[in-house]
Structure 1
Amino acid sequence: MSTRRSCMNKIIVYEYEDFKGLSKEFTSDVPDLRSVDFGDCISSLKVIGQPWLCFLHPNYKGLAHAYEEGEHKQVDLHDQISSLQLVTEDLENPQITLYEHANYEGVSKVITEETNLVYSYFNDKASSHIVQKGTWLLYEHPNRKGWYYIAREGTKLPNYGPVFNFDNKCSHVYPLKGGQPTVTAKIMWDRRIVESERHVVVDEINGINTTDFEQTFTTTSSRVYESVTRHNFKFKLSTQRISESFNLNVDPRTNLVVEKGHIDSTITVDKSEVTMPAKIPPHSELNIQVIMKVVTASAPVEIIVSRNGKPKTVFGEYHSVSGHNINTKYIVKPIERKNNVQIQ
């Protein structure tokens, strides 16, 4: 099993810039930071998981700024943040509809990704909106510049006029991104299938004893051989993909890293020691074959991607071609004596 990291959503706030001074950590909304002795003193912060909103006034009122997962050495509302709120919306597959006129009238534009409206016919034309999914930042200027309005899922704003005189000024829209999710991958060994087995001769040694006495075949008691196992992973359906990388732990020594856009395979090399002591009877030929059993097998893999406490399950398949099983086969057969009398 492999887990990328904890899915806890949290914000750590600091008294001074660059994460210095006193600090506090929160995992849920704080309507009034003065009640926890940290009002109007935040100068830097760190976010883990879902984004957070920082408000100028208590009870989530007044000007607000959004902070996604990461380290923010400085904040916009320097020493002015009075309340904190966690963004709990599902931020995957965001969608917002902008309307040309107030009250959702006129030409409309459906947006599902970050868009610079300067490059379209809808620049500085929006006067109302409806948010179908996600949380959006509506910027006054292109390239995420200037003042922005925070539009949350399920909300409607029928008229931009009263909102800081925002009517016909929206030039850029950006959907907030969720933090990195927890990814758990489990190989379901109880459903392992052996697809094929075959035996491969990796070494062959011959010894001939033409004397009338038993001879020791070799002075060494063993030999070491390398065995190779090829591991690979693929999603069950060709359409299934996840944007996060994760580790697939095959055994304590093998860790298969699955990354989007890369061939999901690895090779491990092991050494096996094979015992070689053998006696050759008089007038006999000894043939020793070192045989590797190559097994091709597969097992389903369950992958659970959890973001903001909401799990999504996809399935893959672990596949291996392994030659770990190495043993020896001894064959003794008589040879003709010099007088052409064969030993039976």
Structure 2
Amino acid sequence: MNRVNSIRVETGAWVCFDHPDFKGQQYILEKGEYPEFQRWNAHNDHMGSCKPIKMHGEQYRMELFEEPNFTGQCVELCDDCPFLQSTGISQNCLNSVKVYGDGAWVMYEEPNYRGRMYILERGNYGSFMEWQAENPNIQSIRKVVNYF
């Protein structure tokens, strides 16, 4: 089955992809009902793979770097950020990220949590390609809130 028109998530948070093998555009699905594909920010009804987002607790922290390999200007986040440039990052570009703590994050290409999204779990991402982005443009970030 690769076409999906409605989803109900009863527990946890999931990252879904529009291609098999966890490739392609990412979508986050948290607890709730999604009666049509537009509700989870999809452009069509294709869904090729899904997996649960690893959540270890409630501690959220990440470091954002303007340059690859954790260089350049750095900003630390512990909470949602609807417009990344308000934190002091001078560009719309994030080229590397370190995710600490227990929680996962969603990064968006547009302000106010809109546009293409990328889900990052605990770990180090030395390049935007490591979170499967086509470019380093990120303008908003929010925590994944897991409701078990």
Give the TM-score, by structure 2 length: 0.83
Report % sequence identity.
24
2:12 is matched with 50
The answer to whether the 8 A contact 1:56-1:77 is kept is: no
Q: For the residues of structure 1 that align with 2:34 and 2:85, how far apart are their CA atoms?
A: 28
1:82 maps to which of 12, 33, 48? 48
Per-residue CA deviations over 1:270-301 (Å, capped at 9, x if unaligned) read xxxxxxxxxxxxxxxxxxxxxxxxxxxxxxxx
Per-residue CA deviations over 1:193-232 (Å, capped at 9, x if unaligned) read xxxxxxxxxxxxxxxxxxxxxxxxxxxxxxxxxxxxxxxx
Give the alignment of 1:1-344 within 5 angstroms: 39-75=1-37, 76=42, 78-116=44-82, 117-122=84-89, 124-133=92-101, 134-154=103-123, 156-160=124-128, 163-166=133-136, 169-179=137-147, 181=148
Distance apart, 1:48 and its partner CA: 1.5
Q: For the residues of structure 2 that align with 1:145 and 1:95, how far apart are their CA atoms?
A: 21
Distance apart, 1:160 and its partner CA: 2.4
The answer to whether the 8 A contact 2:54-2:121 is kept is: no
More strand per residue:
1
Q: Which has the higher contact order (CA 8 A, sep 6+)?
A: 2
Q: Moved runs in structure 1, 4+ residues, more than 6 A?
A: none
Q: For the residues of structure 1 that align with 2:106 and 2:55, how far apart are their CA atoms?
A: 14
Q: For structure 2, list consecutive stretches of 5 or more residues without a partner in the other structure.
A: none
Distance apart, 1:144 and its partner CA: 0.5
What is the RMSD computed on CA atoms of the aligned residues?
A: 1.9
Which of these two proteins has the greater Rg computed from alpha carbons? 1
Q: For structure 1, list consecutive stretches of 5 or more residues without a partner in the other structure.
A: 1-38, 182-344
Q: For the residues of structure 1 that align with 2:53 and 2:144, how far apart are their CA atoms?
A: 9
Q: For the residues of structure 2 that align with 1:82 and 1:112, how far apart are their CA atoms?
A: 32
Aligned residues: 139
More helix per residue:
2
Distance apart, 1:52 and its partner CA: 1.0
The answer to whether the 8 A contact 1:50-1:88 is kept is: no
Q: For the residues of structure 1 that align with 2:93 and 2:18, how far apart are their CA atoms?
A: 28
Instruction: Give the secondary-structure state (helix, strand or coil) at the position aligned to 2:141.
Output: strand
Distance apart, 1:170 and its partner CA: 1.4
The answer to whether the 8 A contact 1:100-1:127 is kept is: yes
Distance apart, 1:176 and its partner CA: 0.5
The answer to whether the 8 A contact 1:43-1:78 is kept is: no
Q: For the residues of structure 2 that align with 1:115 and 1:87, how far apart are their CA atoms?
A: 20
Distance apart, 1:49 and its partner CA: 1.7
Q: For the residues of structure 1 that align with 2:56 and 2:10, how far apart are their CA atoms?
A: 16
